[in-house]
Amino acid sequence: MSTQEPALIQPVTIPRAEHNISRANISENALKVLYRLKNAGYEAYLVGGGVRDLLLGREPKDFDVATSARPEQVEEQFRNCRLIGRRFRLAHVRFGDEIIEVATFRASGAPDNSEEALLAHGETGRILRDNIYGSVAEDAERRDFSVNALYYDIRDFSVQDFVGGLPDLKDGVLRLIGDPKLRYREDPVRMLRAVRFAVKLGFKLHPATEAPIVRLGPLLADIPPARMFEEILKLFMYGFGEQAFEALRHHGLFAQLFPRTEAALAVEEQGFPQTFIAKALANTDSRVQQDLPVTPAFLFAALLWEPVRRMARELEAQGVHPSDALRRASDEIVSEQVQRVALPRRFSTPMTEIFQMQPRFGQRNGKRPQRLLTHPRFRAAYDFLVLRAQAGEAEQELADWWTELQAGNPDAPQPSSSAPRRRRRRRRGGGGGGGGSGAGQEPA
Ligand code: ATP
Ligand code: MG
């Protein structure tokens, strides 16, 4: 069983009686798509995370379909269908909020996401090929991990395994299909996906899948920042961010995503930045688990705070006024950071406000505190202060003072630590998308 061999072509078929995937657990819309394609004479399978998660007894995030029908043929079958992607076309079949992604079998080619971006660039062995349609067996081989290449066949409800995905699933092993070095060069984002799935599923990376990551990590520098932003959200906003952070650092990938932050972590003084980021991520994780809103503004604030704070301190030492120093430092760190990972303005603006408000918490005289309480970003900034205090970077006494001020002030927002309830949501309408107001993430 060599790990380098590109797969057996004979599938192992697991009949319905021998696996646990029930149609009752598959989205009705995905079933509609599968049956419609089958009835029109095409092959149609459920594939990817949906099959993997159902086999593991987990609830899938979404359902992907693979079919022998060409994109135009898929389009003919559905009124609610849109073809996306210019060179590699996928069909999106929409049912209200739910989109079922339908991909035609491909012999070899780009990943499902951002082929455009991949095709547009393309040095160093990255995929540049055009559409090459193929059989289901070929489709299996161009997928990333063996556990992501299991096919649920709507004809007889069996599961088909072309690449040894089932034994890996049983053993809790994440194994890249084919030669890992090659597969990472084709699409370096697979390194981030490896870490994400390992953490999310509690799987081990197969040694051959793990080994090249440390050396190939720098290839991530070529990935378009917008795609990186999407990947960062998948790593940090789905309830396992703290572990993802540790794992990314372990594999040397965090430095590729947040180089300035990694540099600050490397010279950390009293363990503060490490603790701070871990606590911020743990806070986000627990909010996700409680179905409370979370926002990238708070996440990025936590991830970038240490380099911003350091640069501001240096500027102050050069005689720059403290509030200017913080502003300049955050502008500079952000403009550097967005070359790696995009950060849409609707998140960078509130993030910067969270930064700017930190020194204002120190001003406790006169009317200033009352004014600060009414700031639309107060809540997120206060939650941020609490985290800083927990990590030992800000005074606990200061955080407590603000907690008490709010408790004694009927108009103030409830501190999230003492108020799991969410009353009076969003009085000041709008707010930048994605729960852009608080972050500590609670609507102000
Ligand atoms: P999730 O639970 O995050 O949705 P997923 O496995 O479904 O996990 P998707 O990003 O939705 O991941 O992709 C669906 C499937 O498409 C994957 O399971 C995999 O088979 C294939 N795929 C996605 N991205 C890539 C890639 N970069 N390279 C190769 N195959 C990929
Ligand atoms: Mg998916």
Among the listed residues 161, 165, 416, the one whose alpha carbon sits nearest the alpha carbon of residue 294? 416
Distance in angstroms (rounded) separating the CA atoms of residues 150 and 178 = 15
Range 201-207 contact pairs with CB under 8 angstroms and sequence separation of 24 or more: 201/52, 201/56, 201/147, 201/172, 201/174, 202/172, 203/147, 203/172, 203/173, 203/174, 204/172, 204/173, 204/174, 205/173, 205/174, 206/3, 206/168, 206/173, 206/174, 206/175, 206/176, 207/3
Minimum mean pLDDT among 195-199, 293-297, 427-431: which range?
Answer: 427-431
- Per-residue confidence band for 361, with pLDDT thresholds at 50, 70 and 90: very high
Minimum mean pLDDT among 169-183, 218-232, 264-278: which range?
Answer: 264-278
Residue 418 has pLDDT above 70, yes or no: no
Which pLDDT score is estimated for 266? 83
Residue 306 has pLDDT above 50, yes or no: yes
pLDDT tens string 292-305: 999 999 999 999 99
Mean pLDDT of 115-138: 60
Residue 90 phi, psi dihedral angles, 5° rounding? -120, 150
**CA-48 nearest atom, ligand 1:** 18
Residue 81 phi, psi dihedral angles, 5° rounding? -120, 140
90 CA to centre of ligand 1 in angstroms: 14
**CA-189 nearest atom, ligand 1:** 27
Mutate to test the pocket of ligand 1, among 58, 112, 115 (most ligand atoms within 8 A of CB): 112
Which pLDDT score is estimated for 111? 47
Which pLDDT score is estimated for 89? 87
417 CA to centre of ligand 2 in angstroms: 34
Mean pLDDT of 353-376: 92
Mean pLDDT of 178-186: 96
Q: Which two tokens stand for residue 7?
A: 């797969």
Determine if residue 252 is left, alpha or beta; phi over 0 gives left, psi from -120 to 50 gives alpha, anything else beta. Answer: left
53, 139, 144, 187: the active-site residue: 144
- For the question of residue 324 being annotated catalytic, the response is no
Which pLDDT score is estimated for 322? 87
Mean pLDDT of 70-92: 91
**What is the bridge-based pairing of β-strands 90-95 and 81-84?**
antiparallel
Residue 436 has pLDDT above 70, yes or no: no
Which pLDDT score is estimated for 412? 59
Distance in angstroms (rounded) separating the CA atoms of residues 133 and 71 = 11
- For the question of residue 62 being annotated catalytic, the response is yes
| Distance spanning both ends of the chain, measured CA to CA | 56
Which pLDDT score is estimated for 259? 96
Mutate to test the pocket of ligand 1, among 143, 197, 201 (most ligand atoms within 8 A of CB): 143
Give, for 94, the enclosing helix (H) or strand (E): strand 90-95
